[in-house]
């Protein structure tokens, strides 16, 4: 397996939380981006000892003013030329607006560069809540609504897609409607809804492949539960081009999966667009506008949904996610058992301690599993909806 980076040279500004221990937010996004070959500027919006899923943590948040100051610092030293930006958790509406201000500035600079509008691409994860519950301040929701029109790709979960679209998602029809509303209302070119647990029309439960029977990851099979991601790149008239990818889910709660998903989408989207341009150049050497130079990397209306860079990127991202989660599950079982036994066995350990030990054992295992990032085996394919 090669150590050559899979993506072309890419300067990414990554804005998200930092945890000392564990792998969520920028802690996992920055390493993922770097491992794929990106040069990363990492603006950390908090420094916490650990993620909040432990239910206890220490540390501090960065203020909106500090975010603006750091950006000024970059600008004054000519360190503000980014090809892409990834934004995740930002604490509070004022800080969300400060991050939005950075993206708007980068967007405006690219827009002014006629014929190269695609030289800036913003992947926005509008972190607001999950499973029907908002876990940020209420004024963060309108702050994100104001910013979505400046993004190129948003990665809401099902609940966040409802918050942004005002459509309650209960079945395939309402899901499609929510995506149509998002394209139409916000003019947002690309959308991936990252965790759809509805039964979708025409979906079959994916079979768990045995193609890696030699792999140690087979010792912890995924559960029988499945989920989907649903994506769309809009047409020139803001109509959805919808695909879904159905995949099996591992038992347990894993923090940081959304952040890793987002970082991988940054790299695989960039890669897919460059592949597209290379293929186009090979077939018509005279060539038109490169996709990478096109605003928001939006493919022509004639492109089939399954040929969209977004669909191809999502397939690879899910393949990596699946492999990292399989390795994580495998290690988790061993580590948790060892930790409980070291404390005298499960009779001796109270439930709060078990929760802490379980949270730690479920931290995503990335540093020793780079091959899962670089060259995953694609088992779950995009389908038209």
Measured between alpha carbons, how far apart are the two ends of the chain, in Å? 35
Phi, psi of 47 (to 5 degrees): -125, 105
CB of 240 to a second copy, least distance (A): 35
Q: Which of 16, 24, 29, 40 binds a second copy (CB under 8 A)?
A: 40
Which residues lie below 8 Å from residue 202, measured CB to CB, with a gap of 6+? 383, 385
For strand 226-233 and strand 190-196, is the pairing parallel, antiparallel, or unpaired?
antiparallel
Residue 113 sits in the site that holds a second copy (CB under 8 A): no
Nearest CA-CA partner of 51 in 372, 360, 365? 360
Residue 240's Cβ-count burial label (10 Å; 0-12, 13-18, 19+) is buried
CB of 331 to a second copy, least distance (A): 10
CA distance 289 to 146: 30
For residue 259, indicate whether it is catalytic: yes
Residue 345 sits in the site that holds a second copy (CB under 8 A): no
- The residue among 339 and 378 lying less far from a second copy, judged by its C-beta, is 339
Span of 222-230, 241-249, 300-308, 355-363 interacting with a second copy by CB under 8 A: 355-363
- The residue among 4 and 282 lying less far from a second copy, judged by its C-beta, is 4
Instruction: Give the tokens for residue 238.
Output: 């803001």
Q: Which of 25, 37, 91, 248 binds a second copy (CB under 8 A)?
A: 37
> Do residues 229 and 314 lie in contact, with contact meaning Cβ atoms separated by under 8 Å?
yes
Span of 213-221, 278-286, 316-324, 351-359 interacting with a second copy by CB under 8 A: 351-359
Q: How would you classify residue 187: left for phi > 0, otherwise alpha for psi between -120 and 50, otherwise beta?
A: left
What Cα–Cα distance (Å) separates residue 362 from each residue in 140, 152, 201, 325, 327?
A: 29, 32, 32, 9, 10
CB of 66 to a second copy, least distance (A): 6
Residue 41 sits in the site that holds a second copy (CB under 8 A): yes
- The residue among 69 and 166 lying less far from a second copy, judged by its C-beta, is 69
Count of Cβ atoms closer than 10 Å to residue 284 Cβ? 9
Q: Token pair 């977004």 is at which residue?
A: 310
- From residue 289 to residue 328, what is the string marking binding to a second copy with x (rule CB under 8 A)? ----------------------------------------
Span of 32-40, 202-210, 249-257, 277-285 interacting with a second copy by CB under 8 A: 32-40
Concatenated DSSP letters of 111-156: HTSTT-GGG-EEEE----EETTEE-S-TTHHHHHHHHGGG-SEE--
Q: Which of 108, 224, 353, 377 binds a second copy (CB under 8 A)?
A: 353
Q: Which of 49, 197, 209, 346 binds a second copy (CB under 8 A)?
A: 49
Q: Which of 25, 31, 118, 273 binds a second copy (CB under 8 A)?
A: 31
- From residue 62 to residue 81, what is the string marking binding to a second copy with x (rule CB under 8 A)? x---x--xxxxxx-xxxx--
Q: Catalytic pick from 80, 259, 276, 277?
A: 259
CB of 15 to a second copy, least distance (A): 9
CA distance 163 to 178: 10
Span of 143-151, 200-208, 210-218, 350-358 interacting with a second copy by CB under 8 A: 350-358
CA distance 169 to 172: 8
Instruction: Give the tokens for residue 110.
Output: 């690219």
CB of 46 to a second copy, least distance (A): 10
CA distance 51 to 48: 7
Span of 120-128, 224-232, 278-286, 352-360 interacting with a second copy by CB under 8 A: 352-360
Which residues lie below 8 Å from residue 136, measured CB to CB, with a gap of 6+? 92, 127, 128, 129
Which residues lie below 8 Å from residue 34, measured CB to CB, with a gap of 6+? 40
Count of Cβ atoms closer than 10 Å to residue 226 Cβ? 18
CB of 310 to a second copy, least distance (A): 24
Number of residues that bind a second copy (CB under 8 A): 56
- Active-site residues, by number, are 259
> Which residues lie near a second copy (CB under 8 A)?
1-3, 5, 9, 18, 20-22, 27, 30-31, 34-35, 37-44, 47-50, 54, 56-60, 62, 66, 69-74, 76-79, 339, 353, 356-357, 359-360, 366-368, 370-371, 374
């Amino acid at each position: 397996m090669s150590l050559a980076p899979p993506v072309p040279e890419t300067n990414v500004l990554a804005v998200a939380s930092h945890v000392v221990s564990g792998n969520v937010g920028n802690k996992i996004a920055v390493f993922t981006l770097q491992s794929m070959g990106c040069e990363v500027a990492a603006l950390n919006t908090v420094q916490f000892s650990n993620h909040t899923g432990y239910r206890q943590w220490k540390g501090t948040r960065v203020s909106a003013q500090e975010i603006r100051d750091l950006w000024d610092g970059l600008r004054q030293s000519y360190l503000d030329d980014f090809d892409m930006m990834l934004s995740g958790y930002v604490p509070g509406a004022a800080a969300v607006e400060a991050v939005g201000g950075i993206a708007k500035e980068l967007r405006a600079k690219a827009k002014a560069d006629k014929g190269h509008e695609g030289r800036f691409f913003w992947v926005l994860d509008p972190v607001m809540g999950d499973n029907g519950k908002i876990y940020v301040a209420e004024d963060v929701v309108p702050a994100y609504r104001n910013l979505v029109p400046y993004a190129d790709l948003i990665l809401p979960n099902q609940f966040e897609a409802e918050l942004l679209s005002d459509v309650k998602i209960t079945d395939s029809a309402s899901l499609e409607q929510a995506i149509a509303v998002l394209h139409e209302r916000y003019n947002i070119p690309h959308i991936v809804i990252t965790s759809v647990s509805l039964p979708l029309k025409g979906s079959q439960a994916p079979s768990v492949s045995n193609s890696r029977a030699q792999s140690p990851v087979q010792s912890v099979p995924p559960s029988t539960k499945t989920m989907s991601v649903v994506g769309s790149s809009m047409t020139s008239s803001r109509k959805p081009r919808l695909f879904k990818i159905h995949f099996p889910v591992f038992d347990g709660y894993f923090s940081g999966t959304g952040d890793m998903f987002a970082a991988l989408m940054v790299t695989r989207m960039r890669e897919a667009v460059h592949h597209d341009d290379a293929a186009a150049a090979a077939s018509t050497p005279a060539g038109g506008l490169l996709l990478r130079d096109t605003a928001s990397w939006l493919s022509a209306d004639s492109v089939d949904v399954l040929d969209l860079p977004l669909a191809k990127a999502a397939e690879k991202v899910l393949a990596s996610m699946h492999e990292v989660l399989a390795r994580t599950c495998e290690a988790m079982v061993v580590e948790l058992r060892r930790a409980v036994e070291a404390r005298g066995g499960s009779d001796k350990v109270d439930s709060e301690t078990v929760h802490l030990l379980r949270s730690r054992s479920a931290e995503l295992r990335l540093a020793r599993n780079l091959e899962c990032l670089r060259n995953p085996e694609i088992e779950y394919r995009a389908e038209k909806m």
